[in-house]
């Protein structure tokens, strides 16, 4: 059974710092991995999607990498801002029927000004 773990559970940094969020998964047979952002009381917003054949994806200050063989992904946030404060969720999509997303529990990021 696929399990997704995110470390750390919470992170506090000062504005301007570069940071890395980690995601690991137990079954490397995935089709893709997706990073989401969730603001308090809100839904999920997709940030980046990495296909299993890709190594990384970039969007603005965000860069996500994928090492499928080792079951790891990282989300790199450059020059963090207070507006980046949110919970970041990692989810993998396997190749089983139903194509369900399996989520980690998230990393709650707080960026202070």
Partner 1 sequence: NAGVTQTPKFQVLKTGQSMTLQCAQDMNHEYMSWYRQDPGMGLRLIHYSVGAGITDQGEVPNGYNVSRSTTEDFPLRLLSAAPSQTSVYFCASKQAGVTDTQYFGPGTRLTVL
CA distances to 9, 11, 19, 29, 55 from 85, rounded to whole Å, are: 13, 10, 12, 31, 26
- Choice from 21, 23, 25, 32 touching partner 1 (CB under 8 A): 32
Answer whether 31's CB lies under 8 Å from 93's CB: yes
- 45-104 residues in contact with partner 1 (CB under 8 A) are 45-46, 49, 51, 89, 91, 93, 95, 97-101, 103-104
- Choice from 44, 63, 72, 108 touching partner 1 (CB under 8 A): 44
Q: Which is nearer to partner 1, 51 or 74 (CB)?
A: 51
Q: Distance between CA atoms of 70 and 47, rounded to whole angstroms?
A: 22
Q: Distance between CA atoms of 108 and 63, rounded to whole angstroms?
A: 18
Answer whether 84's CB lies under 8 Å from 76's CB: no
Q: Cβ of residue 59: shortest distance to partner 1, in angstroms?
A: 12
- Would you tell me which residues interact with partner 1 (CB under 8 A)? 4, 31-32, 34, 36, 41-46, 49, 51, 89, 91, 93, 95, 97-101, 103-106
């Amino acid at each position: 059974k696929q399990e997704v773990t995110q470390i750390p559970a919470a992170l506090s940094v000062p504005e301007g710092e570069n940071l890395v969020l980690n995601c690991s998964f137990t079954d490397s047979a995935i089709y893709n991995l997706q990073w989401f952002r969730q603001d308090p009381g809100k839904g999920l917003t997709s940030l980046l999607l990495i296909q299993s054949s890709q190594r990384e994806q970039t969007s603005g200050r965000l860069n996500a990498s994928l090492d499928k063989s080792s079951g790891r992904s990282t989300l790199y946030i450059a020059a963090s801002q207070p507006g980046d404060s949110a919970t970041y969720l990692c989810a993998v999509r396997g190749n089983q029927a139903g194509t369900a997303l399996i989520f980690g529990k998230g990393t709650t990021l707080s960026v202070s000004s």
